[in-house]
Amino acid sequence: MSGLPNGGLNIAHEAVDRHAVGSHRHQVAIRCLDASATPRDFTYLDLWKLTNQFANVLQQLQVAGGDCVFTLLERVPELYITVLGTLKKGSVVCPLFSVYGPEPIRTRLISGNAKVLVTSKRLYENKIEPLRQSLPGLKYILIVDQDQQIPLSCDSFWQLLNRASDHFTISSTKPETPALLHFTSGTTGKPKGVMHVHNAVVAHCASARYALDLQPGDIFWCTADPGWVTGTSYGIIAPLVIGATLLVDEAEFDPMRWCQILQNYRVNVWYTAPTAIRMMMRLGNDLICHYDFSSLRFAASVGEPLNAELVLWGKEAFGTPFHDSWWQTETGAIMIANYARMEIKPGSMGKPLPGVESAVIQRLSESEIKVIDVPEQNGELALRRGWPSMFVGYLDDEERYHRCFINGWYLTGDIVRRDIDGYFWFIGRVDDAIKSAGHLIGPYEIERVLLAQDAVADAGVIGIPDPIINETVKAYVVLNAGYNASNELKCYLHAQTRKALGPAVAPREIEFCDKLPRTCSGKIMRKLLRARALGLPERDLPTLDLNL
pLDDT value of position 439: 60
Q: Are 68 and 113 in contact (CB under 8 A)?
A: yes
Q: What is the pLDDT of residues 5-14, one digit of tens each?
A: 888 999 999 9
**Is residue 545 over pLDDT 50?**
no
Pairing, β 68-72 against β 92-96: parallel
> Considering only CA atoms, which of 77, 72, 80, 97 is closest in space to residue 32?
77
Pairing, β 470-479 against β 509-512: parallel
pLDDT value of position 188: 45
Q: Are 351 and 422 in contact (CB under 8 A)?
A: yes
pLDDT value of position 521: 66
pLDDT value of position 547: 37
Q: Report how far residue 123's alpha carbon sits from residue 126's, in angstroms, rounded to the nearest whole number.
A: 5
Percent of the chain with pLDDT over 70: 96
Class of domain 44-197: alpha beta
In the predicted model, what is the mean pLDDT of the chain? 91
pLDDT value of position 78: 98
pLDDT value of position 440: 61
Range of weakest confidence among 123-137, 274-288, 367-381: 274-288
Q: DSSP letter at 446?
A: H
Instruction: Indicate the helix (H) or strand (E) that contains 42.
Output: strand 39-43
Going from the C-alpha of 405 to that of each of 27, 128, 368, 371, 402, the distances in angstroms are: 43, 37, 10, 14, 6
Phi/psi at 528 (5° precision)? -75, -35
Confidence of residue 500 (pLDDT cuts 50, 70, 90): confident
> Considering only CA atoms, which of 286, 240, 230 is closest in space to residue 259?
286
Which residue intervals of the chain bear CATH 3.40.50.980? 44-197
Phi/psi at 496 (5° precision)? -65, -40
Confidence of residue 421 (pLDDT cuts 50, 70, 90): very high
**Residues near 62 by beta carbon (within 8 Å), at least 6 away in sequence:** none
The mean per-residue pLDDT over the stretch 364-379 comes to 93
Percent of the chain with pLDDT over 90: 72
**Is residue 149 over pLDDT 50?**
yes
Pairing, β 28-33 against β 39-43: antiparallel
**Is residue 315 over pLDDT 90?**
yes
Confidence of residue 544 (pLDDT cuts 50, 70, 90): very low
In 274-430, alpha helices (H)? 274-281, 285-288, 308-318, 398-403
Confidence of residue 543 (pLDDT cuts 50, 70, 90): very low
Q: Are 196 and 332 in contact (CB under 8 A)?
A: yes
Could you give the count of Cα atoms lying within 13 Å of 226 in the half-sphere of its Cβ?
29
Q: What is the dihedral of CA 228, 388, 51, 543, to 10 degrees?
A: 10
pLDDT value of position 5: 85
| DSSP-based three-state secondary structure for 463 | strand
Q: What is the pLDDT of residues 235-246, one digit of tens each?
A: 999 999 999 999
SS (H, E, C) 86-150: HHHHCCEEEEECCCCCHHHHHHHHHHCCEEEEEECHHHHHHHHHHHHHHCCCCCEEEECCCCCCC
* Bridge partners (DSSP) listed for residue 394: 194
Q: Tell me which of 501 and 469 has the higher pLDDT.
A: 501
Q: What is the pLDDT of residues 240-277, one digit of tens each?
A: 999 999 999 999 899 999 999 999 999 999 999 988 89
The mean per-residue pLDDT over the stretch 524-545 comes to 70
Q: What is the pLDDT of residues 201-244, one digit of tens each?
A: 999 999 999 999 999 999 999 999 999 999 999 999 999 999 99
- Percent helix / strand / coil, the chain, rounded to 5: 30, 25, 40
Instruction: Indicate the helix (H) or strand (E) that contains 429.
Output: strand 424-429
Which residue intervals of the chain bear CATH 3.30.300.30? 433-516
Q: Report how far residue 75's alpha carbon sits from residue 79's, in angstroms, rounded to the nearest whole number.
A: 7
Q: DSSP letter at 509?
A: E
* Chain center to CA of 535: 30
Angle of helix 308-318 versus helix 274-281 axis, rounded to 10: 60
Q: Does domain 433-516 have CATH number 3.30.300.30?
A: yes
> Considering only CA atoms, which of 288, 350, 343 is closest in space to residue 313?
288
Q: What is the pLDDT of residues 170-198, one digit of tens each?
A: 988 999 999 999 998 544 456 789 999 99
Q: Tell me which of 53 and 283 has the higher pLDDT.
A: 53
- Start-to-end CA span in the chain (Å): 30
| DSSP-based three-state secondary structure for 288 | helix
pLDDT value of position 465: 85
Q: DSSP letter at 455?
A: T
pTM for the structure as a whole: 0.86
Q: Are 452 and 307 in contact (CB under 8 A)?
A: yes
Instruction: Indicate the helix (H) or strand (E) that contains 362.
Output: strand 358-365
